[in-house]
Amino acid sequence: MLDIIRGAGKNGIAPYGREWKYMPDVTVAKVMQKMVDYLKGDPKRIQHAIKVHSFVRNIALLSNLKRDKLTVLEITALLHDIGIPESERKYNSTAGHYQEMEGPPVARKLLKDIPLEQDDLDRICYMIGHHHSYHLIDGVDFQILIEADFLVNLHEHAIDEEGIIKIREKYFNTKVGKELLDSMYDL
Ligand SMILES: [Fe+2]
């Protein structure tokens, strides 16, 4: 019964109810391992992804994002910058548009044995492929990803208070994301 509740059906997909179609925590844990393995030797980028994932999860849970969307978003957070190594290899650049171009094919390869429905895989790749294109934010899941990435990047890039306030005004939208930012910098 417990296995059924956890959604352990064929290929990890339960035959009923969209909310329970994945074993969410195990799926996310497997994706984290794949991300760490893909980025091996680069602890800074690995830790960046893990921090973004952690903020994404908190904002999403406290904003009542639906459970199935949460799993898709957690996977996206872990892989959002996965295009960087290929951008560096092919173009000697980490520019946003190269990352956006190179990320989705790498993500599809890493996720090939993770049981995901096509529309969820497409959503993950859409967000990875546009995560520097803020004008294309088209849902609360994408919005949460952007806020979590800023929460980590503002610190990693040592942005000053004036810059933080500008970014808050321009790009933060969720109540929880704003609260986290305000507390972090005592705004
Ligand atoms: Fe990032």
DSSP string, 116-153: --HHHHHHHHHHHTTTT-GGG--SHHHHHHHHHHHHHH
The three-class DSSP label of residue 21 is: coil
Distance 1 CA to ligand 1 centre (A): 39
What is the model's pLDDT at position 12?
46
Distance 19 CA to ligand 1 centre (A): 27
The angle that helices 161-171 and 140-156 make with each other, rounded to 10 degrees, is 170
CATH architecture group of domain 2-185: Orthogonal Bundle (1.10)
Q: Render pLDDT for 94-116 as a digit per residue (tens, 0 to 9).
A: 999 999 999 999 999 999 999 99
Distance 57 CA to ligand 1 centre (A): 15
Distance 53 CA to ligand 1 centre (A): 10
pLDDT at 14 over 80: no
What is the model's pLDDT at position 9?
45
| Encoded amino acid at 34, one letter | K
Distance 169 CA to ligand 1 centre (A): 19
Distance 52 CA to ligand 1 centre (A): 7
Distance 91 CA to ligand 1 centre (A): 19
Rg (CA), the chain: 17
Q: Give the least confident one: 6-10, 28-32, 61-65.
A: 6-10
pLDDT confidence band for 24 (50 / 70 / 90): confident
Taking the C-alpha atoms of residue 187 and residue 184, their distance in angstroms, rounded to an integer, is 8
Distance 46 CA to ligand 1 centre (A): 10
If you average pLDDT over every residue of the chain, what do you get?
90
DSSP H helical ranges for the chain: 2-6, 24-38, 43-62, 67-79, 84-91, 96-110, 118-128, 140-156, 161-171, 175-185
Q: Render pLDDT for 42-98 as a digit per residue (tens, 0 to 9).
A: 999 999 999 999 999 999 999 999 888 999 999 999 999 999 999 999 999 999 999
Distance 62 CA to ligand 1 centre (A): 21
Q: How many angstroms separate the Cα of 59 from the Cα of each of 51, 89, 157, 159?
A: 12, 33, 22, 22
Distance 66 CA to ligand 1 centre (A): 23
Q: For residue 157, what is the DSSP state?
A: T
126, two tokens? 């859409």
Q: Do the Cβ atoms of 78 and 28 come closer than 8 Å?
A: yes
pLDDT confidence band for 22 (50 / 70 / 90): low
Distance 38 CA to ligand 1 centre (A): 16
Q: Render pLDDT for 172-185 as a digit per residue (tens, 0 to 9).
A: 999 999 999 999 99
